[in-house]
Amino acid sequence: MGAKTGLLVYADGEAPGLLKRVGAPDRERTAAMMRRLYPGWAIDVAAPSNLGRGVHPPNGLAHAGSWPGVELVCDQRFMIDFPSRLPDELVAASAGRRMVLHAMHSVVDWLAFGVWEDGRLVRALSLSPDSGIIEDIGEPLPFETPYWAGERPADIVPWPDEEEDEEPYPLPFHPLDMGEDALRALCGFVVEGCPEPGDLAAETVALHGYLVRDPNAPDPAERDAALKAAIAVMPPPRVYRLGPDGTLIREDS
């Protein structure tokens, strides 16, 4: 699966501590939250999940839970390059409480997160090696300090066909490394990092499942057909295996 998240959390305080105390989410309460966050959308019940395996659901599916003091939704809809451009209805729901956005994708080494206090954006960061720093708003949070100070440099194994003078990793750290620390600091758990004492066991947090569809979005069948057409003209993938000496070897070589 890789490190992938699309997560939005609303909390009356610090989310990590609140999430550690939740039980099973109330279905009616959660459904009411979904109607607030997806106004005008078609919403149908789907299979349940949990925070451990449901933090990056497929397109058109959302996993959610609502409890007194804390609510969360997992949806690829939140995986946007600019956290500051989160839809207005989602930001409005943060009035009087803290909202955290966390999104990352391991395929492109992309990370984005944002923190709002009472509807006001106080920190937003989005970056990837291909695009550089896409958005950087507000003062860095404490967990960011060692990364910007150069204490957590990216440790990247080069591809075997790269030239010796290949430029170094274009960022001073790996976004996914910061992403795991951001997730721990802001939400209390990690998805692929090494768990630490006190981390939330995300798989213990049950979530309800919902099929969600924006009536103004493109037809899913047309979108899928366009994707298949694009894949059909792509060149074959390069496949590598790890050699005895630790180097990468192309399977067709």
Top pLDDT among 227 and 112 is at 112
**pLDDT of res. 1:** 45
Q: Please, are residues 132 and 152 in contact by the beta-carbon 8 Å criterion?
A: no
Q: What is the mean pLDDT of residues 163-186?
A: 86
Cα distance between residue 221 and residue 216, in whole Å: 14
**Position of tokens 């459904």?**
31
| Strand duo 120-128 + 110-117: pairing | antiparallel
Q: Is residue 152 part of a domain?
A: yes
pLDDT per residue as tens digits for the range 20-47: 999 999 999 999 999 999 999 999 999 9
Domain that holds residue 130: 4-222
Cα distance between residue 177 and residue 186, in whole Å: 14
Res. 194 pLDDT band, cuts 50 70 90: confident
Res. 195 pLDDT band, cuts 50 70 90: confident
* Span of 39-43, 95-99, 106-110, 191-195 with lowest mean pLDDT: 191-195
Cα distance between residue 199 and residue 211, in whole Å: 30
Q: Is residue 240 part of a domain?
A: no
Global confidence as pTM: 0.83
Q: What is the mean pLDDT of residues 158-187?
A: 81
Q: Is residue 249 part of a domain?
A: no
**Position of tokens 């960022």?**
171
**pLDDT of res. 223:** 65
Q: What is the mean pLDDT of residues 69-96?
A: 97
> How many helices and strands, by DSSP H and E, does the chain display?
6, 11
DSSP string for 171-227: SSS-HHHHHHHHHHHHHS--SSSPP-TT---GGGSEEEEEEEE-TTSPPHHHHHHHH
**Tally of structural domains, the chain:** 1
**pLDDT of res. 166:** 62
Alpha carbon separation from 108 to 28, 49, 81, 167, 187 (Å, rounded): 37, 26, 12, 17, 23
Residues in CB range of 160: below 8 A, 6 or more apart: 240, 247, 248, 249, 250
CB count in 10 Å sphere of residue 239: 9
Res. 230 pLDDT band, cuts 50 70 90: confident
Geometric angle at alpha carbon 190, from 126 and 208, rounded to 5°: 95
Q: Is residue 163 part of a domain?
A: yes
Helix (H, G, I), strand (E, B) or coil at 161: coil
Cα distance between residue 233 and residue 157, in whole Å: 29
The amino acid occupying position 171 is L
Res. 239 pLDDT band, cuts 50 70 90: confident
**pLDDT of res. 246:** 67
Q: Is residue 245 part of a domain?
A: no
Q: Is residue 66 part of a domain?
A: yes
Q: Please, are residues 9 and 70 in contact by the beta-carbon 8 Å criterion?
A: yes
pLDDT per residue as tens digits for the range 135-169: 999 999 999 999 999 999 987 655 555 555 567 88
**pLDDT of res. 245:** 76
Alpha carbon separation from 14 to 7, 65, 180 (Å, rounded): 16, 17, 17
Helix (H, G, I), strand (E, B) or coil at 230: helix
Task: Say if residue 253's pLDDT is above 70.
Answer: no
Q: Is residue 242 part of a domain?
A: no
Q: Is residue 192 part of a domain?
A: yes
Q: Tell me which H or E stretch contains 115.
A: strand 110-117
pLDDT mean across residues, the chain: 90
